[in-house]
Amino acid sequence: MATGIEAAGLVLGSIPLILAGLQFYAEGIAVTKRYWKYKEEVNNILYELRAENTMYVNSINMLLVGVVSQKDMTEFLADPGGGRWTEAKFDRKLRSRLGASYDSYMESITHMIMTADKFKEKLKLDGAGKPQFSEQTSFKEHYRRLKFSLRKSDYSDLMGKLRQANQSLYRLTTQTAYLDARQTSSKQDCQSAPNFRVIKDRADNFYTALSTGWNCPCQADHSVSLRLESRMEDGSGDEDDEDYEDEETMRDPFHVLFRFNHHHKTEISSTSMKPWTWEEADVRIEYEKQSSTATAACGGQIGKGVRFAKQAKKAIQAALEPQPNMQPIKDLCSAIYALQKPQRDVCFSLLANEIAKHKYGVHIYPTKQLPPDTDTWVVSSLRNVLDDSQFARRDRLKLAVTLASSVLQLHETPWLDENWGKDTIFFVKRPGRALYDQPFVSQNFNQTTPTPKTETPNAMSRIIRNQTLYALGVALIELWYGKTLAELHKDADGPHDTGIMQVDFMAEYNTADRLVDELYSEAGGKYSDAVRRCIRCDFDRRASSLEDAQFQKAVYQGVVAQLKENYEYMFQHHPD
Ligand SMILES: [Zn+2]
């Protein structure tokens, strides 16, 4: 009977053999042409099994942390089932790590071994797990002789069992990691996360207002670029004072650039006459304040008095502030057109009539001065500037913090698609302004052709548990190396650029996953830890949605705060 560690190694060794066997058959089919009808089926089995294997390797990786030292890990994973896996001390450590869960662990692993064996049997692989013939050209004869099945449906039962065992193994591993983390890092708990939900709500409402705010007849693309901010200087307000905290967190407004995009236009007379090009503004999303009399009238709750006093204080503050020259508008395009003059002390109130319905108002404060030389402004995507030598490491690492924080502010809003990345983050080159400290995300309105969206293939979403965070991990890797993931690809990562989305996604994942380990020797522990957590969704939590408050907190502490500390450590002067 194999020990727990040995058993893990056996599975780790046998799935790649099955994969190799399947690959061999797939190539045989391609050569023979006789059985082309099975091509798709075999490729699908291959693809699903690869995904299960990756998931399994991740689980074992997580499980071995603390059992095998980081320096032994590479050697371990390179030789699954090899001599080192039988050393008794590792199994002792694993037992003490898993505690009462050791038995369920053994059960899952045993299931996986059995399933892998059945897989080999069904594919008629030999005792060593290899195909029983070696010439692809004679595939037809051997296929008839050995009578193995190439139908996907014949393997779905086994695949289901493998998936189930893999899933329970994963749960077990994350729970164990979670318990470990609880014991070792209780000090992190006192570092609470800013209230990003407030910003997310406002960003959502802003988008909704914008989508109804372009009623102009110009039929040109209009875009709104939202500047990304780290919004971490505010600290967290008093827990028991939510109103106060809300205002504090949103102390800084959204900063946006409006653009009248002429480039997509065909030869229409208005190309010579540009109504406007760029406009710059601050945007505040104001929620309708409950009138204090109404609150007082329906009273009866504890703490009302305190709340009332607070609201009264706010009302006085508001009354003392200078009233902006508020102009209700319905159509942003013509309002911005009317702004193209030097004197413009004005505030637009978008959808003023709808406030009653939506309970919020969008107040747009254009910059006091007309933005200069807007004709010369140039937009570059992050992809375009990745290898720019002017884009210094300091700017890159600062951007890393801003992007990580922005994920928590804008996830699941139209501003940040879950497949966001180097093609959706922009910089706007403006004369006399630093370029790289102001990243933007952009949305088109009034557009005639919809923007195509990338979707993650189904089986990949089993490995990538949170696409938005995975995208952040990829961006962090690319920012560090100044290269795209495709440029960092190595042959060992599997075929890429094939045009088959599943295959390309897998190769990309393999590159990212490999670089997670390589990054440690280059970028240091904090940065690399943050990247590892994003790529492998390694947060010691069962939840994997940023909507889950505890998960979001774990991401804040494990990624955003780490990146910020790393940046401050490297670039900010410490008095002591
Ligand atoms: Zn327009």
CA separation, residue 432 to residues 263, 278, 368, 396, 437 (Å) = 24, 16, 17, 20, 13
Alpha carbon of 225 to ligand 1 centroid (Å):
16
Look up tokens 């014991």; give the residue. Answer: 183
Q: Is residue 451 part of a domain?
A: no
Query: In the chain, pLDDT over 90 holds for what percent of residues?
Result: 38
Q: Is residue 312 predicted with pLDDT exceeding 80?
A: no
Alpha carbon of 270 to ligand 1 centroid (Å):
11
d(CA 267, CA 432): 33
d(CA 36, CA 26): 9
Residues 66 and 146 in one domain: yes
Q: Which of 184, 213, 235 is the last residue of a domain?
A: 184
Alpha carbon of 432 to ligand 1 centroid (Å):
28
- Give 37-82 pLDDT, tens digit per residue: 888 899 999 999 998 998 898 888 878 877 887 667 777 877 887 8
Residues 260 and 289 in one domain: yes
Alpha carbon of 221 to ligand 1 centroid (Å):
8
Q: Is residue 406 part of a domain?
A: no
Q: Is residue 488 part of a domain?
A: yes
Alpha carbon of 275 to ligand 1 centroid (Å):
8
Q: Is residue 260 predicted with pLDDT exceeding 50?
A: yes
Residues 477 and 374 in one domain: no
Residues 217 and 303 in one domain: yes
Report, as an integer, the average pLDDT of 332-346: 84
Alpha carbon of 337 to ligand 1 centroid (Å):
9
Q: Is residue 559 part of a domain?
A: yes
Alpha carbon of 470 to ligand 1 centroid (Å):
36
Alpha carbon of 214 to ligand 1 centroid (Å):
7
Alpha carbon of 104 to ligand 1 centroid (Å):
63
Alpha carbon of 374 to ligand 1 centroid (Å):
17
Say what the pTM is.
0.70
The mean predicted confidence, pLDDT, of the chain is: 82
Alpha carbon of 421 to ligand 1 centroid (Å):
28
Alpha carbon of 378 to ligand 1 centroid (Å):
20
DSSP result, 317-366: HHHHSPPP-EEEES-HHHHHHTT-SS----EEEETGGGHHHHSEEEEEEE
Q: Is residue 186 predicted with pLDDT exceeding 90?
A: no
pLDDT range class, residue 185, cuts 50, 70, 90: low
pLDDT range class, residue 298, cuts 50, 70, 90: very low
Residues constituting the chain:
576
Q: What pLDDT, on the 0 to 100 scale, is given for residue 576? A: 43
Q: Is residue 288 predicted with pLDDT exceeding 70?
A: no
Q: Is residue 353 predicted with pLDDT exceeding 80?
A: no
Residues 237 and 374 in one domain: yes
Alpha carbon of 115 to ligand 1 centroid (Å):
62
Report, as an integer, the average pLDDT of 264-288: 70
pLDDT range class, residue 187, cuts 50, 70, 90: very low
Q: What pLDDT, on the 0 to 100 scale, is given for residue 482? A: 94
Q: Is residue 320 predicted with pLDDT exceeding 80?
A: no
Q: Is residue 404 part of a domain?
A: no
| CB distance 475 to 422 below 8 Å | yes
CA separation, residue 489 to residues 19, 78, 514, 533 (Å) = 21, 19, 10, 21
Alpha carbon of 434 to ligand 1 centroid (Å):
29
Alpha carbon of 373 to ligand 1 centroid (Å):
20
Instruction: State residue 458 phi and psi, 5-degree precision.
Output: -50, -55
- Give 138-173 pLDDT, tens digit per residue: 888 898 899 888 898 999 999 999 999 998 888 888
Q: What pLDDT, on the 0 to 100 scale, is given for residue 263? A: 58
DSSP result, 486-541: TTT--GGG---S-S-HHHHHHHHHHHHHHHHHHHHHHH-HHHHHHHHHHHHT-SS-
Q: What pLDDT, on the 0 to 100 scale, is given for residue 244? A: 46
Alpha carbon of 367 to ligand 1 centroid (Å):
20
- Give 504-563 pLDDT, tens digit per residue: 999 999 999 999 999 988 888 899 999 999 999 998 888 899 999 899 999 999 999 999
238: containing domain:
196-379
Residues 216 and 329 in one domain: yes
Alpha carbon of 258 to ligand 1 centroid (Å):
11
Residues 180 and 204 in one domain: no
Residues 162 and 219 in one domain: no
d(CA 147, CA 124): 8
Alpha carbon of 357 to ligand 1 centroid (Å):
25
Q: What pLDDT, on the 0 to 100 scale, is given for residue 314? A: 62
| CB distance 334 to 350 below 8 Å | no
Alpha carbon of 212 to ligand 1 centroid (Å):
12
Residues 150 and 210 in one domain: no
Least confident of 34-38, 262-266, 418-422, 441-445: 262-266
Alpha carbon of 262 to ligand 1 centroid (Å):
11
Q: Which of 379, 402, 422 is the last residue of a domain?
A: 379
d(CA 101, CA 176): 8
Q: What pLDDT, on the 0 to 100 scale, is given for residue 216? A: 82
Alpha carbon of 287 to ligand 1 centroid (Å):
27
Neighbouring residues of the ion ligand 1, judged by CB less than 5 Å:
216, 218, 333
Alpha carbon of 406 to ligand 1 centroid (Å):
29
Q: Is residue 415 part of a domain?
A: no
Alpha carbon of 20 to ligand 1 centroid (Å):
58
pLDDT range class, residue 316, cuts 50, 70, 90: low
Q: Which of 184, 217, 242 is the last residue of a domain?
A: 184
pLDDT range class, residue 412, cuts 50, 70, 90: very high
pLDDT range class, residue 250, cuts 50, 70, 90: low
Query: In the chain, pLDDT over 70 holds for what percent of residues?
Result: 81
Residue 34 in tokens? 């006789």
Q: Is residue 255 predicted with pLDDT exceeding 60?
A: yes
Instruction: State residue 33 phi and psi, 5-degree precision.
Output: 70, -25
| CB distance 441 to 226 below 8 Å | yes
Alpha carbon of 422 to ligand 1 centroid (Å):
28
Q: What pLDDT, on the 0 to 100 scale, is given for residue 33? A: 74
| CB distance 527 to 560 below 8 Å | no
Alpha carbon of 222 to ligand 1 centroid (Å):
7
Q: Is residue 432 part of a domain?
A: no
| CB distance 288 to 361 below 8 Å | yes
pLDDT range class, residue 211, cuts 50, 70, 90: confident
Residues 218 and 150 in one domain: no
Residues pairing with 260 in the sheet: 222
Q: Which residue has the higher pLDDT, 59 or 401?
A: 401
| CB distance 555 to 564 below 8 Å | no
Q: Which residue has the higher pLDDT, 25 or 100?
A: 25
Q: Is residue 426 part of a domain?
A: no
Alpha carbon of 216 to ligand 1 centroid (Å):
5
Question: How many separate domains does the chain show?
Answer: 3
Alpha carbon of 220 to ligand 1 centroid (Å):
6
DSSP letter at 420? Answer: -
DSSP letter at 558? Answer: I
Alpha carbon of 38 to ligand 1 centroid (Å):
54
Alpha carbon of 200 to ligand 1 centroid (Å):
27
pLDDT range class, residue 493, cuts 50, 70, 90: very high
Least Cα distance to 532 among 62, 173, 56 occurs for: 62
Residue 289 in tokens? 């304040």
Residues 51 and 92 in one domain: yes
Residues 357 and 264 in one domain: yes
